[in-house]
Structure 1
Amino acid sequence: MNTPAPPVLVVEDLELRIGNAPEPIVDGVSFTLNAGETLCIVGESGCGKSLTALALMGLLASPPLQQSGGRAEFQGEDLFKMPRETLRRVRGGRMAMIFQEPMSSLNPALKIGEQIAESVREHQGLGFEAARLRALEMLERVRIPAAEKRLNEYPHQLSGGMRQRAMIAMALANDPSLLIADEPTTALDVTIQAQILDLMRSLSQESGTALIMITHDLGVVAEMADKVAVMYAGRVAEAGSAQQIFDDPQHPYTLGLMSSMPSLGGSRERLVTIPGSVPSPIDMPRGCRFAARCPFVGDDCAEAPAAREISSGHSVSCWRAPLEDAVTETEARIA
């Protein structure tokens, strides 16, 4: 009998704090990711998605931010206990990140080929010509037209879609086991967005790279995810397979996100909105952080609910789950 391969990444109870704020801004985040899987972390701006990714990459702005609890085991090693030099070798090599805006991540003074080759030389120890050939191979792999010409161009000479492809090429040049993509298609038009998503999915499947995709776009989640973690105000509100989250959302916040999605074939009625806004990072409530915006709020919400599994692999942090029962109780109360 074949022994299952160990997970690529296990995150347990990640906690991040800012300055002397009384409550952590990221609190108790946990998930597991296997080779070839795609985890989408979804939520509004300010929910802690990008901070979680930056913490895993060792790129938090510290101070004022600090990792104050939890562990992140990457291929058997705790990222938070790695010596700085070891983490520097791992970052960009065995794990890599694609940022939202390539123009702020690519060096405007270096040609695209030089930037990819530099990463390859650093992590694989290749000579100049071999690294340049690898850079060309990667540009061709991400389907940049006239790849040999693009090697000698600067970032400003490329379109937005080609710059994002160049970022993907750089991130994948060292065959990472884990790739983190932070809103990689936000600035692109829908046609280019579809091409980039298709590219990332096929490259992940070909190489077995585990992928964490951070997004607020549920369309991207439906297109890409094997697993989904819905984050709100620094906590995971709901987690499960993509099918579980879309077919049976069980947290009021998840339900609100689903209801706010426009549908091509749906009615023309006004979309549902979630009243209020995400709490300030320096003033997080002590109980359920969604309580001030929740239609099912009750007295017990003054205490933060723990995550509990309501079906295999599907967990929810809500006192009211399953929501079908909460809806019945609310209707009976109104009647």
Structure 2
Amino acid sequence: MTAPLLDVQGLGISVQGARANLVDDMSFTLHAGQTLCIVGESGCGKSLTALALMGLLASPPLAVTGGRALFAGQDLLAMPRAELRDIRGDRMAMIFQEPMSSLNPAMKIGEQIAESVRRHKHVGYEPARARALEMLERVRIPAAAQRLDEYPYQLSGGMRQRVMIAMALANDPALLIADEPTTALDVTIQAQILDLMRTLQAETGAAMIMITHDLGVVAEMADQVAVMYAGRIVESGPTEAIFDDPQHPYTIGLMSSMPSLGAHRERLVTIPGVVPQANDMPSGCRFAGRCPFRTSACDTPPPLEDFGGGHRVACVNAPLEASRQETGT
């Protein structure tokens, strides 16, 4: 197998005054053309991971405390800021969660897309504007030539998200990071955006990291899945393995809490308790306080162990089937 496009090992992120890292020992690899979905509830460190890779952490109070992130052999975490600015928006790009707060309200749509092209491709105004028009047409915005001279407030939420995708892909990046790209959209527009992203990824061959809390999106988009809880990956592996045979109690809880279509009227399963704050992190397994399978062994941080086929789980009770047979539960 070829070397991964992105190899993240041991990434740690802290905030001033906190006893524990907000993101701790984050490790994963991503190959060209693959999609990795990072999933977990709000506050687990998904967006912080993306911002760290893009060099966009608010520092202070946030800071990278360790690890490496090799992108095409270059460590993004150790790279000078000027060199990182040359890569960001060109070879790697990000689609933010809320385009209305990410787009410049005082600049026309065409100018914002063209600005990125001029910055990285060193072309004049007319070629950059032509590329902006081409990208708006590529993301299926109707009357694209007219939209070039409109402001973000004149567009719908779905169209603004398409503009963000056009801007991110304008320079044909090798890596695309999408942070909750469909959260604020209704289900019809969400399906259109996901279909668009799949199509464009297939055309460009870009690798993609998609951050989401929606397991339906994960099932539809991901080749690989990383489940995060309280700043740590608790389970990862191929999508089929995660959905067909989840092994971490937190992953099982997430899947059990998903609503389904049908005549069932039972209450949805909930996970009792709340995610621990940075100053209240337990010394062992961070999910132990909410876990129905907790034992004294959970007082030690569990390693992320491979159970075959790249399916890795950080739980002393995995595989859960064997543990339940041994305990008679």
Same fold? TM cut 0.5:
yes
Aligned counterpart, 1:222: 219
Q: Within the alignment, does 1:327 sit opposite 2:324 as a pair?
A: yes
- Structure 1: distance between partners of 2:271 and 2:229: 12
- Structure 1: distance between partners of 2:276 and 2:5: 33
> CA offsets per residue over residues 257-302 of structure 1, 9 Å max, x none?
0100111136321111100111112322211000000000010111
Asked if structure 1 preserves the Cα contact closer than 8 Å seen for 2:19 and 2:278, the reply is no
- SS of the aligned residue for 1:321 comes to coil
Q: Within the alignment, does 1:204 sit opposite 2:201 as a pair?
A: yes
Aligned counterpart, 1:280: 277
Aligned counterpart, 1:269: 266
Aligned counterpart, 1:232: 229
Pairwise mapping of residues 33-112 of structure 1 onto structure 2 (< 5 A)? 33-112=30-109
Match 1:195 to one of 192, 195, 201 = 192
- SS of the aligned residue for 1:311 comes to coil
- Structure 1: distance between partners of 2:199 and 2:215: 20
Aligned counterpart, 2:312: 315
> CA offsets per residue over residues 177-233 of structure 1, 9 Å max, x none?
000000000000000000000001111111010000000000000010000000000
- Structure 2: distance between partners of 1:326 and 1:259: 20
Runs of 4+ in structure 1 deviating by more than 6 angstroms, as ranges, are none
Asked if structure 2 preserves the Cα contact closer than 8 Å seen for 1:21 and 1:283, the reply is no
Q: In structure 2, what residue type is equivalent to 1:205? A: A
- 1:23 shift after superposition: 1.6
Match 1:170 to one of 163, 167, 171 = 167
Aligned counterpart, 1:9: 6
Please, what TM-score do these two structures have when normalized by structure 1? 0.96
Q: In structure 1, what residue type is equivalent to 2:69? A: A
Please, what TM-score do these two structures have when normalized by structure 2? 0.98
Stretch moving more, 4-13 or 71-80:
4-13
Unaligned runs of 5+ in 1: none
Q: Within the alignment, does 1:158 sit opposite 2:167 as a pair?
A: no
- SS of the aligned residue for 1:273 comes to coil
- Structure 2: distance between partners of 1:166 and 1:194: 16
- 1:252 shift after superposition: 0.2
- SS of the aligned residue for 1:80 comes to coil
Asked if structure 2 preserves the Cα contact closer than 8 Å seen for 1:25 and 1:282, the reply is no
- SS of the aligned residue for 1:282 comes to helix
- 1:329 shift after superposition: 4.0
- 1:21 shift after superposition: 2.0
Asked if structure 2 preserves the Cα contact closer than 8 Å seen for 1:43 and 1:49, the reply is yes
- Structure 1: distance between partners of 2:116 and 2:15: 32
Q: Within the alignment, does 1:258 sit opposite 2:255 as a pair?
A: yes
Q: In structure 2, what residue type is equivalent to 1:238? A: E
- SS of the aligned residue for 2:158 comes to helix
> CA offsets per residue over residues 100-125 of structure 1, 9 Å max, x none?
00010000000000000000000100
Q: In structure 1, what residue type is equivalent to 2:12? A: E
- SS of the aligned residue for 2:280 comes to coil
> CA offsets per residue over residues 84-135 of structure 1, 9 Å max, x none?
1000110111000000000100000000000000000001001000000000
- SS of the aligned residue for 2:19 comes to coil
Aligned counterpart, 1:121: 118
Aligned counterpart, 1:179: 176
Asked if structure 2 preserves the Cα contact closer than 8 Å seen for 1:140 and 1:147, the reply is yes
> CA offsets per residue over residues 12-68 of structure 1, 9 Å max, x none?
011111113222111111100001100000000010000000000011111111101
- Structure 1: distance between partners of 2:326 and 2:19: 35
> CA offsets per residue over residues 299-318 of structure 1, 9 Å max, x none?
01111100100112100000
Q: In structure 2, what residue type is equivalent to 1:249? A: P
Unaligned runs of 5+ in 2: none
- Structure 2: distance between partners of 1:219 and 1:259: 13
- SS of the aligned residue for 2:159 comes to helix
Q: 1:123 to 1:196 in 2, by over 3 A?
A: same
% identity of equivalent residues: 71
